[in-house]
């Protein structure tokens, strides 16, 4: 073929696409090459393969289920073999816009993983012995449903607990629990983002930020959002776009992340000092008068602050500004330098950059310092203070609250919430905890605070992911504490080994979910679907159960929960079944088609019209395109006037809060919102009066941005009622001379906790987690070189790991990524052979020893690639050696560890882990002493401020503390 | 509906006007945007069904600086789509070829698996696919381009750091970047004219020796990998690299040619040398043209070793049964092809010599065949120097003294192998001693001269102080012993044969021990 013909062939594709009136998706290169086949051809796309052959595919969208970003995927389903050939991005997805990180394409590995669990399994012998038998779904479901039914009949609803890792969906399972009437939702959030959430929640009443990176002039990240975090790929796209436009990037991270690499200013502070630095920047803005006075005056609850804290002073804005200056005057750059080790000069420069952003400042913290430190929630608060000072809130280029950029469509029936309080998830010592005190579960069970009869772990691996895993093993193997443990998981994990049932659940391309995440100033709904089911339906087949198309007997959760619910309440006597009963065919189960069909028809504005324009049903549209953008450019909702219709018998309360008797209009978007208290006459808060206008305001008690949290002041934390710097548990003064801070939470761009170990392409890239050590420390510790074994001693034990000597970390700090160190006990048959070491577990009383027996090695399987495994190391499981560190306010587990690092001793072997769970119990008790229990602090005899967000929020009277209630 | 922004509209007329404006596909790898996420790596694996253990593209990372002024630099590392592609020149069958639009592509159906392309590629971008045993590399996803689609890595990249386009189209984004921004290519000194341009890449990643190789077999979150015939990237400990640049992530690399190629140079040297040494003896009158050494034993040894050479060469192929393709679809620029024909010619001469001369009793035929036989034997000995030099990646092998050195080695081996026959012994001892002396001089020159490039320098370091030092010094000492052949006679035979074997192994392997990517 000559050059002319070749060029002509390449050019013809676009020409023909346009001539046919089909969609040409321009790629980043902006040439005549498309990035994706035209959507009009997604039913039957003939693709040329690398070997020149042609195959015919159905292109079916779904959603990645690796991290929380929920990026769109497009499955290429071979129309002949009906198998997935590959996953690409979905150009119709407004969040990810057709692009993915490494984990997107690697979804294919997870689907074809030879080690995945294909059939329901039941334990044989003792828990954790490693012997399993295959059972039918019917047997498993009947057994589990029978136990739940008994618990419900015997009025023990809280004996049922559902413990979820990454939900990856909005609301379905919470609705199941609500229907059952159990307060049994338990999450992973307090080991993840509660610290960050708390800081935002105290400010806005909403617990997540939505930075508008794409339009920002300055982006300030206390995290590594170019490579990880919420929402890695969607945010990275927009951050890099902004940088290309000339936006400045400031990154706070003690370790050199890929994100820090791109920063115009990389600040690598002493861990725990982040709030001090941020407050010094805030102080500079105030001192130099660069704050947005109008915004502060209109939107901060300064009047409430003055009234509560300075009732004797003039109640004027000028007085507030003066006090504000005073309040932060101690946070000088020099002070921040002493705390953080970052030079005052650099901080001044950064402060000037921040000041220059004006309202175009996008900031973000999610885990990082907020998840690492005692008081870490104040990092998020101090960070948002910068936005609040500059008025960079809910405006273009600023930071929005998540709820405005999220759309959770209302389901057909919303059950009421449970009428009892679960003490195992919401203990009274933590009245302000943002989420369930999940990681304390073993300790709370050991306290004798309750037992669990049926415990679901759902794509969650607490033995491995949580701190103090040996205490988890101790409690999960004690059948007097946990009656029946059901692990819902696609793959083997350290927790599933201790289950009674292991039930295989589908991967991202094998299940239904809907979800919506705040990734830019807009709202979208994404749809995850079993792609083989959708492909078969396109080919004219009728699939009524996802198991028909999934590998083995792998199911999906939606159908599983519906089926289980029906078995719990087969005759409807418990009043539960009805929530999952077909409306079209009463007496029959609701199908997923009906459930989502209803939602897309009734609860997603604009979708029915968009679908009709293409001659599709709303469900058909979502099955075809996988996502729908509900709104774009939501803008500052707080500035919107409250419509007259909502102001029936309105009353203006303290500091301008406006209340109404008009009932809350039914909105299709049921995104969780807090519930500020009604006024004394029972009117609900509806807005706030600002300069004589009644505006929507914020869902906080005051209706404004709460610089000052009266809730915190009244619930025992007056000293932290405004954003201040709280000293971390790893503050240098706490460490002592021989300890260093271990940063144990950093993520790698290609892995995601225990979820991605079943992807060979990802394991090949990243499979170990040496301890990052600065050369100065390496020298001080006796000339440690990369690859040498070191012993890292925590409060409760130690682990032995290899050293990685690098300039990419602050001297005096060590870091170890938490993705690695997967293991399977000797004798277990199942396991992730490409990513799990085989270990021995020895126990003497409370003393545990885990030793590595073998690393990974090539093996024969249905996938020839497993014979090509070239790595043997899988890292070390450091979390086992961490005791629990619950923050007394946010409830967040404070991850940073004060550790002693030294050269390994003779006899130490790589991967050795030694822990004394009696010591971990002592640490738990010590941290319990930091708490200020509701019993001592509650101003109104309740367990928790009612207005705060809470999953499955029970009715208000359930909030009363037990003694008070009687 | 996703917002679609259309930039510079591509006009196909730019391509076809008059037919002379051909598309010239280039890629831009924008390291100012790359976030080191490895999406391109897995998207490529998925699109092109690339097995575990090998990659068409990966993201190298190098840390530069000292805290707190540190940076992790990325380099998307892959085939450079050279305008003058050494792999195409080196490929004996045209399996690696350049399309008219500039894409360097491959045809797995005709790949014999000789790894000459791998030895030639200055970027270490080619590998043998363990599933189908053929050479492959990034080909711009030519199957997608032909269907009007961007390559998989371009589409997946979250930050649009990879662009593909036509440099001849001034409206294209790649043209804007290549022509207006600070771009560079990898190893321009190799004169390959790469068509993959890096925007804002640093020397620390572009130069494979600029960053220090970490200790302990580790990278920041992976093992360096215990793979066979491994070449780990980065400068080895103690090498003159910037102490502040540390290789933080790379993939395992393998040297293409293993002991079989070392061994082949030896058997082939014996074959050529036996004939040449006997011919010299006959020409010099030390033996008669009718002497059985010339008529029978030397050509018999030569033919036997030539057969062994062929067997080794075929055994070294990933597709041994496709061996005939070298003759059926020769790509004449390939020294492997040229060498095959030289060896074929030489083998024919030897066969006729033995059939007609030795068995047929025709002294004259054997004698006059030497007119062709001597140059063919010399070419058999020396062509390997050109084959090695065609391995453009390997600086050690770019030596102008290599052809004579190969001849010297052949004579050394030939003299040694003929000595035990007891014909022309005195002269053979002197040939052996002289060749050994010349060999030692050439080797000493090789290791003591200043080396023109860092790569050659490092290769010599590997030779004399690195992984192959024992072979090298053992070989040199044995060669020194062989110089004494006139004094020690047959006792020099063993040391001489072993000397060259050890030397060749050290030389062939250390030539490939330098990291290229």
Can you point out the beta strands (E) in A633-683?
651-652, 657-660
**CA B99 – CA B33 distance, rounded (Å):** 30
With cut-offs at 50, 70 and 90, classify the pLDDT of residue A569: very high
In this model, does residue B21 exceed pLDDT 70? no
CB within 8 Å: B45 and A817: no
pLDDT tens by residue, A297-338: 999 999 999 999 999 999 999 999 999 999 999 999 999 999
Q: Which residue of A lies nearest to B19 if distances are taken between CA atoms? A: A4
For residue B435, what are the contacts with CB-CB under 8 A and spacing of at least 6?
B408, B409, B411, B412, B415
Q: Which residue of A lies nearest to B67 if distances are taken between CA atoms? A: A807
CB within 8 Å: B37 and A629: no
A243 contact residues in B (CB cutoff 8 A): 33
CB within 8 Å: B172 and A29: yes
pLDDT of residue B243: 59
B62 contact residues in A (CB cutoff 8 A): none
pLDDT tens by residue, A78-122: 999 999 999 999 999 999 999 999 999 999 999 999 999 999 999
Q: CA–CA distance from B438 to each of B431, B444, B464 (Å)? A: 10, 10, 19
Tokens at B50, concatenated: 């690339």
Q: Give percent of chain A above pLDDT 90.
A: 95
Contact (Cβ atoms closer than 8 angstroms) between residue A190 and residue A370: no
Tokens at A637, concatenated: 């909702």
A7: nearest CB among B16, B53, B217 = B16
For residues A562-578, give the mean pLDDT: 96
Contact (Cβ atoms closer than 8 angstroms) between residue A526 and residue A515: yes
Tell me which residue has tokens 């062929």: B310
Q: pTM of the predicted model, to two decimals? A: 0.96
**CA A457 – CA A165 distance, rounded (Å):** 8
Tokens at A139, concatenated: 């047997």
Question: Is the preceding peptide bond at B68 cis, omega within 30 degrees of 0?
Answer: yes
A48 contact residues in B (CB cutoff 8 A): 143-144, 146-147
For residues A347-369, give the mean pLDDT: 97
For residues B62-77, give the mean pLDDT: 96
**CA B76 – CA B201 distance, rounded (Å):** 10
pLDDT of residue B17: 40
CB within 8 Å: A770 and B101: no
Residue A160: strand pairing partners: A454
Q: CA–CA distance from B9 to each of A21, A30, B20 (Å)? A: 17, 7, 21
Tokens at A123, concatenated: 């334990």
pLDDT tens by residue, A373-424: 999 999 999 999 999 999 999 999 999 999 999 999 999 988 999 999 999 9
**CA A342 – CA A335 distance, rounded (Å):** 10
Instruction: For residue A75, give the nearest of A56, A60, A55 by alpha carbon.
Output: A60
**CA A647 – CA A642 distance, rounded (Å):** 7
**What are φ and ψ of residue A834, in 5° steps?**
-85, -5
pLDDT of residue B452: 87
In this model, does residue A15 exceed pLDDT 80? yes
**What are φ and ψ of residue A129, in 5° steps?**
-75, -20
pLDDT tens by residue, B229-244: 899 999 887 776 555 8
DSSP assigned state of A751 = -
Q: Which residue of A lies nearest to B14 if distances are taken between CA atoms? A: A7
B42 contact residues in A (CB cutoff 8 A): 102-106, 750, 761-762, 765
DSSP assigned state of A170 = S
**CA A160 – CA A146 distance, rounded (Å):** 12
For residues A823-843, give the mean pLDDT: 95
In this model, does residue A706 exceed pLDDT 50? yes
B22: nearest CB among A3, A94, A869 = A3
Max CA-CA distance within chain B?
Answer: 91
First to last CA, chain A: 89
pLDDT tens by residue, A727-769: 999 999 999 889 999 999 989 999 998 889 999 999 999 999 9
With cut-offs at 50, 70 and 90, classify the pLDDT of residue A963: confident
Tokens at A863, concatenated: 């996938």
Contact (Cβ atoms closer than 8 angstroms) between residue B128 and residue B118: yes
CB within 8 Å: A102 and B244: no
Q: How far is B205 from chain A (nearest CA, A)?
A: 14
Contact (Cβ atoms closer than 8 angstroms) between residue B461 and residue B474: no
**CA A833 – CA A829 distance, rounded (Å):** 10
Q: Which class for A480: exposed (0-12), middle (13-18), buried (19 or more C-beta within 10 A)?
A: exposed
With cut-offs at 50, 70 and 90, classify the pLDDT of residue A695: very high
Q: How far is A28 from chain B (nearest CA, A)?
A: 6
**CA B147 – CA A48 distance, rounded (Å):** 7
Contact (Cβ atoms closer than 8 angstroms) between residue A22 and residue A40: yes
Whole-number CA gyration radius for chain B: 26
pLDDT of residue B5: 35
* Alpha carbon B338 to its chain's center: 16
Q: Which class for A358: exposed (0-12), middle (13-18), buried (19 or more C-beta within 10 A)?
A: middle
CB atoms within 10 A of CB B493: 20
CB within 8 Å: A787 and B216: yes
pLDDT of residue A103: 97
SS3 B257: coil
pLDDT of residue B240: 65
Contact (Cβ atoms closer than 8 angstroms) between residue A818 and residue A879: yes
Contact (Cβ atoms closer than 8 angstroms) between residue A841 and residue A825: yes
With cut-offs at 50, 70 and 90, classify the pLDDT of residue B22: low
pLDDT tens by residue, A487-533: 999 999 999 999 999 999 999 999 999 999 999 999 999 999 999 99
pLDDT of residue A613: 97
pLDDT of residue A514: 97
Contact (Cβ atoms closer than 8 angstroms) between residue A251 and residue A264: no
Whole-number CA gyration radius for chain A: 28
CB within 8 Å: B12 and A227: no
Q: Kind of pairing, strands A740-743 and A813-815?
A: parallel
SS3 A844: strand
The angle formed by the CA atoms of residues A448, A450 and A453, to the nearest 5 degrees, is 130
pLDDT of residue A449: 96
CB within 8 Å: B157 and A868: no
Exposure on the CB side of residue B212, measured as CA atoms within 13 A: 20
Question: DSSP readout, B274-308?
Answer: HHHHHHHHHHTTSS-TT-HIIIIIHHHHHHHHHHH
What was the ipTM of the complex prediction? 0.97
Signed CA dihedral, A603, A606, A612, A616: sign only: negative
DSSP assigned state of A641 = B
Tokens at A885, concatenated: 């560190």
Instruction: For residue B374, give the nearest of B270, B269, B279, B266 by alpha carbon.
Output: B279
In this model, does residue B11 exceed pLDDT 60? no
Q: How far is A236 from chain B (nearest CA, A)?
A: 7
In this model, does residue A229 exceed pLDDT 90? no
For residue A317, what are the contacts with CB-CB under 8 A and spacing of at least 6?
A296, A297, A302
**CA B499 – CA B502 distance, rounded (Å):** 5
Tokens at A251, concatenated: 């990154």
Tell me which residue has tokens 């086992």: A880
Exposure on the CB side of residue A444, measured as CA atoms within 13 A: 21
Exposure on the CB side of residue A640, measured as CA atoms within 13 A: 14
pLDDT of residue B18: 40
For residue B17, what are the contacts with CB-CB under 8 A and spacing of at least 6?
none
Q: How far is B195 from chain A (nearest CA, A)?
A: 15
SS3 A769: coil
In this model, does residue B225 exceed pLDDT 50? yes
CB within 8 Å: A36 and B149: yes
For residues B205-212, give the mean pLDDT: 94
CB within 8 Å: B39 and A99: yes
Q: Kind of pairing, strands A823-825 and A771-773?
A: unpaired
Q: How far is B253 from chain A (nearest CA, A)?
A: 12
Q: Which class for A593: exposed (0-12), middle (13-18), buried (19 or more C-beta within 10 A)?
A: middle
For residue B437, what are the contacts with CB-CB under 8 A and spacing of at least 6?
B483
CB within 8 Å: A32 and B148: yes
A112 contact residues in B (CB cutoff 8 A): none
Question: DSSP readout, A3-22?
Answer: HHHHHHHHHHHHHHHHHTT-
pLDDT tens by residue, B78-105: 999 999 999 999 999 999 999 999 999 9
CB within 8 Å: B164 and A91: no
Instruction: For residue A848, give the nearest of A793, A920, A791, A915 by alpha carbon.
Output: A915
B160 contact residues in A (CB cutoff 8 A): 28, 237, 240
- Helix or strand holding residue A73 (H, E): strand A72-78
């Amino acid at each position: 073929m000559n050059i002319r013909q070749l060029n002509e062939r390449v050019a013809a594709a676009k020409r023909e696409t346009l001539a046919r009136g089909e969609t040409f998706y321009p790629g980043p290169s902006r040439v005549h090459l498309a990035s994706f086949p035209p959507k009009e051809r997604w039913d039957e796309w003939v693709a040329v393969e690398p070997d020149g052959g042609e195959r015919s595919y159905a292109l079916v969208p779904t959603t990645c289920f690796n991290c929380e970003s929920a990026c769109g995927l497009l499955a290429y389903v071979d129309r002949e073999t009906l198998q997935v050939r590959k996953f690409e991005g979905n150009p119709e997805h407004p969040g990810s816009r057709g692009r993915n990180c490494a984990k997107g394409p690697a979804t294919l590995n997870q689907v074809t993983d030879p080690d995945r669990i294909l059939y329901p399994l039941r334990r044989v012998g003792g828990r954790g012995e490693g012997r399993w038998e295959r059972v039918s779904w019917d047997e498993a479901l009947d057994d589990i449903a029978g136990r739940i039914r008994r618990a419900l009949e015997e009025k023990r609803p809280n004996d049922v607990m559902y413990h979820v890792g990454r939900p990856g969906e909005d609301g379905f399972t919470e609705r199941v629990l609500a229907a059952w009437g159990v307060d049994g939702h338990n999450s992973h959030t307090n080991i993840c983002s509660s610290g960050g959430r708390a800081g935002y929640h105290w400010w806005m009443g909403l617990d997540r930020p939505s930075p508008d990176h794409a339009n920002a002039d300055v982006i300030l990240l206390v995290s590594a959002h170019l490579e990880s975090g919420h929402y890695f790929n969607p945010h990275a796209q927009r951050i890099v776009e902004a940088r290309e436009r000339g936006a400045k990037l400031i990154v706070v991270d003690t370790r050199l992340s890929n994100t820090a690499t791109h920063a115009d200013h990389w600040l690598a502070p002493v861990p725990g000092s982040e709030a001090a630095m941020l407050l010094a920047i805030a102080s500079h803005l105030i001192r130099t008068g660069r704050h947005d006075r109008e915004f502060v005056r209109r939107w901060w609850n300064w009047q409430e602050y003055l009234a509560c804290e300075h009732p004797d002073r003039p109640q004027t804005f000028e007085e507030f500004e003066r006090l504000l200056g005073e309040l932060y005057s101690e946070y000088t750059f020099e002070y921040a330098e002493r705390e953080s080790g970052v030079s005052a000069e650099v901080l001044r420069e950064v402060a000037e950059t921040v000041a220059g952003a004006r309202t175009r400042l996008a900031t973000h913290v999610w885990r990082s310092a907020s998840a690492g430190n005692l008081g870490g929630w104040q990092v998020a608060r101090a960070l948002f203070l910068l936005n609040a000072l500059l008025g960079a809130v809910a405006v273009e280029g600023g930071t929005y609250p998540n709820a405005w950029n999220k759309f959770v469509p209302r389901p057909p029936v919303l059950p009421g919430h449970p009428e009892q309080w679960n003490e195992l998830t919401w203990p009274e010592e933590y009245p302000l905890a943002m989420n369930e005190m999940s990681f304390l579960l073993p300790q709370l069970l050991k306290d004798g605070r309750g037992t669990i009869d049926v415990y679901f772990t759902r794509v969650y691996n607490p033995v491995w992911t949580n701190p103090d895993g040996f205490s988890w093993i101790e409690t999960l193997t004690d059948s007097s504490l946990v009656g029946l443990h059901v692990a819902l998981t696609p793959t083997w994990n350290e927790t599933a080994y201790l289950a009674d049932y292991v039930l295989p659940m589908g991967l991202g391309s094998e299940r239904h979910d809907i979800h919506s995440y705040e990734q830019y100033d807009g709202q979208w709904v994404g749809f995850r679907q079993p792609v083989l089911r959708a492909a078969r339906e396109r080919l004219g087949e009728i699939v009524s159960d996802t198991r028909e198309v999934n590998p083995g007997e792998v199911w999906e959760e939606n159908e599983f929960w519906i089926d289980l619910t029906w078995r719990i309440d087969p005759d409807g006597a418990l009043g539960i079944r009805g929530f999952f009963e077909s409306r079209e065919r009463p007496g029959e189960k609701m199908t997923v088609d009906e459930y989502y069909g209803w939602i897309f028809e009734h609860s997603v504005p604009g979708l029915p019209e968009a679908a009709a324009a293409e001659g599709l049903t709303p469900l058909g549209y979502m099955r075809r395109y996988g996502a729908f953008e509900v709104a774009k450019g939501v803008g500052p909702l707080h500035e919107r006037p409250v419509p007259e219709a909502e102001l029936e018998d309105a009353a203006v309360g303290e500091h301008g809060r406006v209340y109404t008797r008009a009932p809350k209009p039914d909105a299709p978007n049921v995104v969780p919102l807090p519930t500020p208290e009604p006024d004394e006459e029972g009117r609900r808060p509806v807005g706030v009066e600002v300069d004589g206008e009644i505006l929507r305001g914020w869902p906080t008690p005051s209706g404004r941005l709460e610089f000052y949290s009266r809730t915190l002041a009244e619930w025992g934390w007056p000293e932290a009622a405004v954003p201040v710097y709280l000293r971390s548990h790893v503050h240098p003064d706490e460490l002592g001379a021989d300890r260093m801070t271990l940063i144990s939470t950093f993520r790698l761009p290609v892995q995601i906790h225990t979820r991605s170990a079943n992807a060979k392409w990802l394991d090949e890239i990243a499979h170990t987690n040496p301890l990052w050590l600065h050369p100065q420390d390496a020298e001080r510790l006796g000339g440690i070189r990369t690859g040498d074994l070191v012993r890292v001693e925590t409060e409760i034990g130690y682990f032995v790991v290899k050293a990685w000597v690098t300039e990419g970390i602050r001297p005096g700090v060590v870091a170890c990524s938490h993705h690695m160190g997967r293991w399977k006990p000797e004798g277990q048959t199942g396991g992730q052979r490409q990513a799990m070491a085989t270990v021995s577990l020895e126990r003497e009383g409370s003393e545990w020893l885990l030793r590595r027996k073998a690393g990974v090695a090539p093996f024969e399987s249905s996938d020839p690639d497993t014979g090509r495994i070239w790595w043997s190391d899988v890292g070390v499981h450091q979390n086992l050696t961490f005791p629990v560190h619950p923050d007394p306010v946010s409830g967040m587990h404070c991850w940073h560890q004060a550790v002693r690092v030294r050269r390994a001793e003779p006899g130490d072997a790589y991967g050795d882990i030694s822990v004394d769970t009696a010591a971990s119990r002592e640490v738990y008790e010590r941290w319990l002493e930091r708490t200020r229990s509701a019993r001592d602090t509650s101003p109104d005899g309740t367990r928790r401020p009612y207005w705060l967000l809470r999953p499955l929020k029970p009715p208000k009277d359930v909030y009363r503390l037990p003694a008070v209630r009687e | 509906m996703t917002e679609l922004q259309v930039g510079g509209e591509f006009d196909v007329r730019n391509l076809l006007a008059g037919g002379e404006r051909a598309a010239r596909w280039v890629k831009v790898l924008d390291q100012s945007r790359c976030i080191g996420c490895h999406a391109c790596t897995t998207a490529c694996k998925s699109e092109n069904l690339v097995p575990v253990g090998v990659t068409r593209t990966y993201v190298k990372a190098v840390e530069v600086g000292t805290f707190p002024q540190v940076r992790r630099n990325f380099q998307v590392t892959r085939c450079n789509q050279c305008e003058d592609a050494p792999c195409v020149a080196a490929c004996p069958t045209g399996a690696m070829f350049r399309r008219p639009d500039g894409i360097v592509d491959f045809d797995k159906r005709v790949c014999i698996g000789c790894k000459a392309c791998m030895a030639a590629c200055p970027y270490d971008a080619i590998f043998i696919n363990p599933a189908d045993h053929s050479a492959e590399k990034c080909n711009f996803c030519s199957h997608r381009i032909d269907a009007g689609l961007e390559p998989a890595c371009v589409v997946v990249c979250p930050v649009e750091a990879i662009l593909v386009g036509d440099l001849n189209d001034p409206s294209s984004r790649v043209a804007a970047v290549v022509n207006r921004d600070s771009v560079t290519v990898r190893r321009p000194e190799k004169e390959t004219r790469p068509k993959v341009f890096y925007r804002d890449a640093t020397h620390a990643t572009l130069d494979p020796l600029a960053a220090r190789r970490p200790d302990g077999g580790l990278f920041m979150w992976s093992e360096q990998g215990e793979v066979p015939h491994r070449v780990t990237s980065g400068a080895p400990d103690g090498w003159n690299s910037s102490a502040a640049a540390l290789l933080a992530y790379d993939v395992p690399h393998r040297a293409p040619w293993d002991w079989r190629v070392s061994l082949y140079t030896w058997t082939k040297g014996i074959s050529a040398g036996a004939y040449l040494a006997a011919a010299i003896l006959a020409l010099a009158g030390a033996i008669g043209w009718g002497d059985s050494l010339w008529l029978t034993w030397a050509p018999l040894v030569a033919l036997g070793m030539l057969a062994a050479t062929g067997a080794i060469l075929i055994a070294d192929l990933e597709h041994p049964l496709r061996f005939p393709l070298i003759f059926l679809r020769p790509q004449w620029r390939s020294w492997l092809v040229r060498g095959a024909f030289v060896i074929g010619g030489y083998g024919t001469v030897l066969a006729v010599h033995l059939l007609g001369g030795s068995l047929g009793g025709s002294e004259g035929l054997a004698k006059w065949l030497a007119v062709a036989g001597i140059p063919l034997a010399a070419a058999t000995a020396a062509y390997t120097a050109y084959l090695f030099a065609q391995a453009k990646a390997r600086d050690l092998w770019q030596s102008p003294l290599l052809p004579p050195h190969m001849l010297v080695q052949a004579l050394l081996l030939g003299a040694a192998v003929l000595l035990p026959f007891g014909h022309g012994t005195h002269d053979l001892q002197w040939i052996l001693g002289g060749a050994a002396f010349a060999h030692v001089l050439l080797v000493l020159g090789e290791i003591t001269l200043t080396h023109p490039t860092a790569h050659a320098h490092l290769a010599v370091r590997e030779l004399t102080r690195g992984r192959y030092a024992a072979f090298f010094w053992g070989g040199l000492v044995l060669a020194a012993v062989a110089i004494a052949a006139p004094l020690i006679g047959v006792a020099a035979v063993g040391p001489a044969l072993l000397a060259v074997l050890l030397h060749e192994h050290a030389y062939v392997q250390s030539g490939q021990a330098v990291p290229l990517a």
